[in-house]
Structure 1
């Protein structure tokens, strides 16, 4: 969620994320062709949130037969820097924030990382590399100073994070390359398994998802299914004891 990102909004379409006075939520939306077959589970994410948010995503992925995910199977150094900076700057909603960390390997299904060329040189046990930790440590005070200078203690709330399928997001060459790789994987899977009764999830940063949804509903001919779910990533007011991740199987998906 770098401060330099520019998001432009036009006619409102299907909402993918929601920023409100209550906090920040992301959707879980399923797409399928009218004739049936392959279902795509689209899950936009944010680099930092409450632990039960990432736990809920992991639980939803258990019913999927494959997952397409971002960069690598390990914690987000970007999320670590932002979460630590928010606490250091005493920002609203900074309590109990953790970096994005979804244990994809524990799902026991094929995991595809289209942009894995960006993956850090991490340990086999999913620990963040020394270089990534150093980068996060260097960035934290810089980000904290920027947040503190916003003046009102609510740096996150000053950003419009409402993203729809028709949101236009500024992309540089690296972003376009990553999205081209992602769409290429999706097209390949669709070509091989379009008629199969199976679910494939796409778990990527929220700003990439308008491109994904436009591809599904445009060239590939998918339609959104009713009953989208919403997951709270950051809650401004909920007491910490309400957010403690309970035992396995806590959600009826």
Structure 2
């Protein structure tokens, strides 16, 4: 049976916080499938749960999502209904009080807007402006965000090799942590984009026998939210 990672319906978008376990081992790997934009309460709920974990494995570096910033900026420029009610992903890992592993970089601590992230935002914004201009003011709610563990992720601007390289770095980090901690009653949090989770679930199942044993759904945004005034 397929494991659902994100769900999009008439009620909005939800993300499943998924616990993976191996029978006979006390270690839990907890997946936090992330999206670039959502309601502020979603990111606050994720941050609160992360504080209870023993180790965090996170994507990129400790900086706001440049893609999320580009999307929000493009939404404002094209007068999207959701522009005033949603925020970009920005979890301050340094404030969580939990050790963090950055598989793709050697983080130098909290960074507000590194040059490469700023460049990313400048390059991505025109693309999203064009997409949203063609999609109209209801662009957000016409996008489907559903991901399962057997989903073949469809990529737009992101190069497929780039995605797979990130997957490999993440899986290597989790393999190392499993080897070191599989006999401990700990929780390892994985804070990565939802597009990476199918590869993680498949790799950990094949290598060690990890299976989903539970999930807690968090609302990224509800369907009414993009139309709601914040005044």
| Structure-1-length-normalised TM-score | 0.81
Find the partner of 2:89 among 65, 78, 100. Answer: 100
Residue 156 of structure 1: aligned partner: 140
State yes or no: 1:91 paired with 2:80.
yes
Q: Spell out the pairing of 1:180-199 with structure 2 (5 A cutoff).
A: 180-199=168-187
Point out where structure 1 has 5 or more consecutive residues left out of the alignment. 1-11, 242-253
Residue 46 of structure 2: aligned partner: 57
Distance in structure 1 (CA, Å) of the matches to 2:201 and 2:71? 27
Which whole-Å deviations, capped at 9, do the CAs of 1:174-231 have from their partners, x for residues lacking one? 22111111101111111111110000000100101000111222221112223x1111
Distance in structure 2 (CA, Å) of the matches to 1:218 and 1:94? 41
How far does residue 23 in structure 1 lie from its aligned partner after superposition?
1.8
State yes or no: 1:114 paired with 2:118.
no
State yes or no: 1:133 paired with 2:122.
no
Find the partner of 2:152 among 160, 164, 168. Answer: 168
Residue 249 of structure 1: aligned partner: none
Change (3 A) 1:177 1:135: closer
Secondary structure of 2:4's partner? coil
Secondary structure of 2:192's partner? strand
Q: Aligned-residue CA RMSD in angstroms?
A: 2.2
| Structure-2-length-normalised TM-score | 0.88
Distance in structure 2 (CA, Å) of the matches to 1:230 and 1:161? 15
Note if contact 1:67-1:110 (Cα within 8 Å) is conserved in structure 2: yes
Q: Name the structure with the higher helix share.
A: 2
Secondary structure of 2:208's partner? coil
Point out where structure 2 has 5 or more consecutive residues left out of the alignment. none
